[in-house]
Structure 1
């Protein structure tokens, strides 16, 4: 194996120092671990594309990279948002460039798409096809408590409070602790699961000792159950959270209550579910029904028959 040139060693050292500094900047700002990993990965891809350390690249290089992500990689706007957020942090915080990042790094407009939501019967059909007791318990929890998969995999047995009938979510999205509902039927399922598996540190342990189940493992189990169910709609762990919100809304729960249960920072985020709750939308009468009915028209008199 050929030895690296001094130039490559220097470039690698600079990149390593810059990576370390960016990592520390994110740590002192208490960014979520998943955000830190994602940002570092995005900056690494950016540097690899040009074969240079990011501190040697300028505005035109950034613009070229944005065009590449859009036209050649054909990434979805959400994925481009992540890449741009990482570069904004790098240049405005770590490198302390004196510029307006929102001008140099504009965000693409996201299309407003409505999620495809499972009906109550479809949720029941899907959960009935989750054969493994642990997978069935965690996916049922995602639906019954409206949890994100990142929150469900981090649950501990002590987070299930059967006295108050709540589930404690520790450091959920936005690094906030909160409580969500614990339905009696879910409690029964979790107790049955606990008697079979006897989890200790984590409520849903993974294959590696001392670690919780991974999101990928739950996603794989979800995909297998969806195939068994024969459902035509897409089903992911997050689909169950969507279904939780829509079914509550259609059952008469108010948007503010659902906001608290979902842990949304903004009520506007929760209000999007109003566009999906068909029972609410379709139960409202059209103004056409309020128009007066036209007077009945009499048929013309019949002509006499002579033959």
Structure 2
């Protein structure tokens, strides 16, 4: 939160009120949610540079959302923008529900990119740096989000129970997920070499490893292979869930490992799992 307060303020650019940041902090919203809300709300208030924030009404909100639609912003961004605006008027200012009549665009339902097991192995095997290899292994074998890998501490690795504790994950929830034997072996080698102090993965100055560093590791690994898919940290998580489902793991167990609040979120993997289609005979083969 301090990063938002210490930002440089360009002339003429309106920033979120301090009360907005305070409320986000008190409600302990996740960092990614905070970034999204602040960015969306500031885009809204800067759309009306000559109007006081508290003078903006439902008509102004509609006009702003129409502008987003006409400029081809995604449905998810438009919904996030509405949420960020509602947060200010209804949560920060404590006003009654003012914007419930404003239509929401339908949520986009895009299927996730999934790697095959051989592609995952290839990406991990071409990664020679042991720290980088451990990061990729954890993204896949534990189904972790990028932020969850970055927040891991050495004590979170429970080698006796072969579990990993994920603290304060999305929605401020703790959970346990799987620790693979091969990943544990690599982690032990890594720990002896690097001796991390606070976080499991740290930079050269012993600070928490950065999200951009993980993105670079993945980009570098993909370039060493013939894989043409767009691979991100979340692709490994999608692949973990899909492969578990293909192996017959119950959907509720996958939901628990991923930390999803609802099975509806987890059900998307039934649309990409290969065993969903195995019982269907292609008409060309009939």
How does the TM-score come out when normalised to structure 1?
Answer: 0.82
Given the alignment, which residue of 191, 201, 221 partners 1:204? Answer: 201
| Matched residue, 2:214 | 218
Quick check: 2:140–2:239 contact (8 Å CA) kept in 1? yes
| Matched residue, 2:253 | 257
What do residues 166-193 of structure 1 show as CA deviations (whole Å, max 9, x unaligned)?
A: 1111111111111111111110111111
User: How far 1:158 sits from its partner (Å)?
Assistant: 0.9
1:283 matches 2:278: yes
Quick check: 2:58–2:98 contact (8 Å CA) kept in 1? no
What do residues 116-163 of structure 1 show as CA deviations (whole Å, max 9, x unaligned)?
A: 211001111122233432222111101010111111110011111111
What do residues 194-218 of structure 1 show as CA deviations (whole Å, max 9, x unaligned)?
A: 12212111111134x3531111221
| Matched residue, 1:89 | 87
Unaligned runs of 5+ in 2: 1-11
What do residues 256-275 of structure 1 show as CA deviations (whole Å, max 9, x unaligned)?
A: 11111111111121122111
1:135 matches 2:146: no
Q: How large is the Cα RMSD of the aligned pairs?
A: 2.3
Other structure's SS at 2:106 match: coil
Other structure's SS at 1:102 match: coil
1:229 matches 2:225: yes
Given the alignment, which residue of 185, 189, 193 partners 2:190? Answer: 193
1:62 matches 2:61: yes
What do residues 9-57 of structure 1 show as CA deviations (whole Å, max 9, x unaligned)?
A: xxx9xx77x7111222223333223322332222222122221442122
Quick check: 1:116–1:234 contact (8 Å CA) kept in 2? yes
Unaligned runs of 5+ in 1: 1-11, 294-307
Q: Which has the higher contact order (CA 8 A, sep 6+)?
A: 2
Other structure's SS at 1:177 match: strand
Other structure's SS at 2:100 match: helix
| Matched residue, 2:99 | 101
Which has the larger Rg?
1
Given the alignment, which residue of 267, 273, 276 partners 1:271? Answer: 267
Which runs of structure 2 are paired with 1:113-132 in the superposition (5 Å)?
Answer: 113-132=110-129
Alpha-carbon distance in structure 1 between the residues aligned to 2:152 and 2:177: 12
What do residues 211-270 of structure 1 show as CA deviations (whole Å, max 9, x unaligned)?
A: 311112211221221122120111111000010011111112111111111111111211
Q: How many residue pairs are counted as aligned between the two chains?
A: 272
Given the alignment, which residue of 147, 160, 164 partners 1:163? Answer: 160
| Matched residue, 1:80 | 78
Alpha-carbon distance in structure 2 between the residues aligned to 1:244 and 1:274: 13
Given the alignment, which residue of 234, 239, 242 partners 1:243? Answer: 239
Alpha-carbon distance in structure 1 between the residues aligned to 2:31 and 2:228: 35
Alpha-carbon distance in structure 2 between the residues aligned to 1:132 and 1:79: 37
The 4+ residue runs of structure 1 with deviation greater than 3 A are 96-100, 285-288
Change beyond 3 A, Cα 1:135–1:102: farther
Alpha-carbon distance in structure 2 between the residues aligned to 1:172 and 1:98: 30
Quick check: 1:92–1:101 contact (8 Å CA) kept in 2? no
How does the TM-score come out when normalised to structure 2?
Answer: 0.88
